[in-house]
Structure 1
């Protein structure tokens, strides 16, 4: 069994993660541990406050007790709001505190793009335009070319969590750009786990969403490779082993 512990701020779309456990159809567990937030609004100051070492450390001991082999801070905004260097220092501090490999959703997006061999993206964010621009700047600092950035104007995590798939589709289509190789939807408060293939068919290219890449990143940290096309192109970049009858969550070792 592989166990990836997730730290998640407040309550929004956390039910995406048990859904992904089922979709992976394997011996993978992604237990989630909540951290506190002061306000639901995703403004720069609030995001930075949500990602302080003290808040993150509060959930680490419980995560370790659950047998996690790696941990991921499953909050895009409260990592990229610190910038490229700050987000990496945040992840390093988490690793030191937990004594485990650690990362964050924002860092995971860049690693996932490298996995796909892509360097040009469109950002289809639910956030306000200024917060979406922070994410674009974070990506550019990581060597990613951002062809377009669009904010959906959703300020609170609770409003994002209440959004249905049609709104997520609208975000993806409105935020896409002809020159982009991949569309990024960076919001862990959006329910996206069940819809990635549908989104990819709609825009005709890979789509990376926050909760999807958070789980993928945790598996990457544990050197676990899984074939699960129901979670999109990112989970189908490695061929299944010979003789696999169906496209399920089959481990691929290299």
Structure 2
């Protein structure tokens, strides 16, 4: 049985992970610890604090103490990883790996690996964040050789508000940001509920839609050595 530990900042769409466990349907465990969020704000200074080394170390230690051995661990926060830049995000993951003693990643790197696995080279980004934060994700993807054809920010400041967006809003947002020349659509916020919408998102736009909680689970499983194809979780898992 594979166990992938999830470090999740604050409270917004953490219920996507037990939903993912159910949809995986094979006994995979995704134990989750809420990491410290002193301020819920999609603002650079607040995000640097959310993803700080001491916060993640405390979360990893809490996870190990409460849920036993892990096969991998994921910092399930996109903005709290890409805001550090490519090198800073790598250092963040390296520190987490050292504390946890298992393979580690963050959602930002999971997006890159998901694009590579599907042969995706050009994307559009539908970001719930303010524009200045979203631009840092565009820069991060550029470091990986992924071309962002367009980025549409919604300008939502708090993760809590993002977590209240309805299914119809998420589906409409993905359709609104699409471009015919894009290989895929990326929805980068782990505060966005998407796990139960993945097939519907792909069908709505006729191409892969990669979402933050989706890629976090997918890459965590890959790091744990589990590459089994699975239905019901979008093109990425199929």
The two structures have a TM-score, normalised by structure 2, of 0.97
Note the C-alpha offset of 1:170: 2.4
Q: Which residue of 1 aligns with 2:138?
A: 136
Does the aligned pair in 2 maintain the 1:121–1:144 contact within 8 Å? Answer: yes
| Distance (Å, rounded) in 2 between the aligned partners of 1:126 and 1:201 | 21
* Residue number among 217, 234, 237 corresponding to 2:236 in the alignment: 234
Once the two structures are superposed, the pairs formed by residues 58-97 of structure 1 within 5 Å of their partners are 58-65=58-65, 66=67, 67-97=69-99
Q: Which residue of 1 aligns with 2:179?
A: 177
Instruction: Report the RMSD for the aligned CA atoms in angstroms.
Output: 0.9
| Distance (Å, rounded) in 2 between the aligned partners of 1:198 and 1:42 | 27
Structure 1 residue ranges (4+ consecutive) displaced by more than 6 angstroms after TM superposition: none
**What SS does structure 1 have at the residue aligned with 2:3?**
strand
Q: Which residue of 1 aligns with 2:153?
A: 151
Residues 158-202 of structure 1: CA deviation (Å, up to 9, x unaligned): 100011011112221222122110100000001000001111111
Point out where structure 2 has 5 or more consecutive residues left out of the alignment: none
**What SS does structure 1 have at the residue aligned with 2:173?**
helix
Aligned residues: 236
Once the two structures are superposed, the pairs formed by residues 17-28 of structure 1 within 5 Å of their partners are 17-28=17-28
Note the C-alpha offset of 1:24: 0.4
Once the two structures are superposed, the pairs formed by residues 38-49 of structure 1 within 5 Å of their partners are 38-49=38-49
| Distance (Å, rounded) in 1 between the aligned partners of 2:191 and 2:55 | 18
| Distance (Å, rounded) in 2 between the aligned partners of 1:43 and 1:226 | 37
**What SS does structure 2 have at the residue aligned with 1:5?**
strand
Note the C-alpha offset of 1:226: 2.6
Does the aligned pair in 2 maintain the 1:51–1:79 contact within 8 Å? Answer: yes
The two structures have a TM-score, normalised by structure 1, of 0.91
Does the aligned pair in 2 maintain the 1:125–1:171 contact within 8 Å? Answer: no
**Does residue 33 in structure 1 map to residue 20 in structure 2?**
no
Does the aligned pair in 2 maintain the 1:108–1:217 contact within 8 Å? Answer: yes
* Residue number among 218, 223, 228 corresponding to 1:221 in the alignment: 223
Note the C-alpha offset of 1:227: 2.3
**What SS does structure 1 have at the residue aligned with 2:195?**
coil
**What SS does structure 2 have at the residue aligned with 1:7?**
strand
| Distance (Å, rounded) in 1 between the aligned partners of 2:139 and 2:169 | 25
**What SS does structure 1 have at the residue aligned with 2:225?**
coil
Note the C-alpha offset of 1:13: 0.4
| Distance (Å, rounded) in 2 between the aligned partners of 1:228 and 1:163 | 26
Residues 117-139 of structure 1: CA deviation (Å, up to 9, x unaligned): 11111101111111111111100
**What SS does structure 2 have at the residue aligned with 1:226?**
coil
Residues 29-76 of structure 1: CA deviation (Å, up to 9, x unaligned): 000011111111111111111000001011112222322111000000
**What SS does structure 2 have at the residue aligned with 1:230?**
coil
**What SS does structure 1 have at the residue aligned with 2:192?**
coil
| Distance (Å, rounded) in 2 between the aligned partners of 1:226 and 1:164 | 30
